[in-house]
Structure 1
């Protein structure tokens, strides 16, 4: 089993995250932000990556630190679980329809973190979550896990549908990218022999 566990305690957040890349999409998530919980649960369910995520953050200040640090810890746990990345498919792409909205996510577990974000929202909040923080969450997980990540909302009008489609697309792309290719299960998928740098 490819698993990773991260505990992270700062003056702003106290976090425990564990993942199992070879799971079934079971999850237990409590960040203190209901909508963020819902999105991480969607990620787990549709990637089939088991996720346990507990965050106690300084929500009396705002949601920024909790959102950022949850993504950092989740990305670090995924990176830990990937180890030397031998045998992974490496790339993943998904088109994710959510009612009238359509998201496209393409990613490469390259070790070279980049986020290209082409999505926007017409309201400042979903539930109690600030919509400006979604881009930051994906930036943070991209950095921590070493993922080149391209996210685009092709169209859509309902803000909830747009972001849920993006998270589900990210999940499906990750499901493919972390899967083991049986034809090259003993090799790192790079002519360099390593991923990153």
Structure 2
């Protein structure tokens, strides 16, 4: 079986980002974006999705973290799409509820080739440390569009903003792990159309 690996480098006047995403990994991560809380969340994707993930990002953090976070989402989405290839043999769908203390978050994914994001989360705080919580939506929007996946995310309840965001990232990781898993019962492309990505 060919290694399912996506590597993307993306440079603009605002950011310089390089990503490697190995789908059949062991949860190893090397993350450095210059945004500590965001790094912590990307570690959750690797660890709880059993992916090997390397992210190196430099951005215009002297302005704020928006460009760095959004462009990392773009680059990760492109890497995920490359790693999936044509999607042959994958389970395609995945969903997960993840609790984190008082918080419950949910993610559902269809590796459909049709990018869509439904995001339902109201965070009590505007910042976690120096991280703007509105960037969570920007990250997942960029990732879902560039990966070509349908993604539904919801925080059912919670009080602590850190817990709510981390539960969302963990739920995404678990759902994606199931969606991209290879299943010997799946012959070819898991679609009656005969094509996904």
Q: Is the structural similarity TM-score above 0.5?
A: yes
Q: For 1:1-197, what aligned pairs fall within 5 Å after superposition?
A: 1-184=3-186, 186-196=187-197
Q: Deviations over 1:84-130 (max 9, x none)?
A: 10001010000000001000111101010111011011111112110
Which secondary structure state, in structure 2, belongs to the residue aligned with residue 14 of structure 1? strand
Looking at structure 2, the residues matched to 138 and 19 of structure 1 have their Cα atoms a distance apart, in angstroms, of 16
Looking at structure 2, the residues matched to 98 and 191 of structure 1 have their Cα atoms a distance apart, in angstroms, of 38
Looking at structure 1, the residues matched to 85 and 126 of structure 2 have their Cα atoms a distance apart, in angstroms, of 38
Q: What is the CA RMSD across the aligned residues, in angstroms?
A: 0.7
Looking at structure 2, the residues matched to 152 and 81 of structure 1 have their Cα atoms a distance apart, in angstroms, of 26
Looking at structure 2, the residues matched to 183 and 124 of structure 1 have their Cα atoms a distance apart, in angstroms, of 45
Looking at structure 2, the residues matched to 133 and 16 of structure 1 have their Cα atoms a distance apart, in angstroms, of 20
Post-superposition offset of 1:44 = 0.5
Looking at structure 2, the residues matched to 54 and 73 of structure 1 have their Cα atoms a distance apart, in angstroms, of 11
Looking at structure 2, the residues matched to 90 and 128 of structure 1 have their Cα atoms a distance apart, in angstroms, of 36
State the TM-score, normalizing by the size of structure 2: 0.97
Post-superposition offset of 1:137 = 0.5
Q: How many residues align?
A: 195
Which secondary structure state, in structure 1, belongs to the residue aligned with residue 122 of structure 2? coil
Looking at structure 1, the residues matched to 80 and 142 of structure 2 have their Cα atoms a distance apart, in angstroms, of 13
State the TM-score, normalizing by the size of structure 1: 0.97
Which secondary structure state, in structure 2, belongs to the residue aligned with residue 38 of structure 1? helix
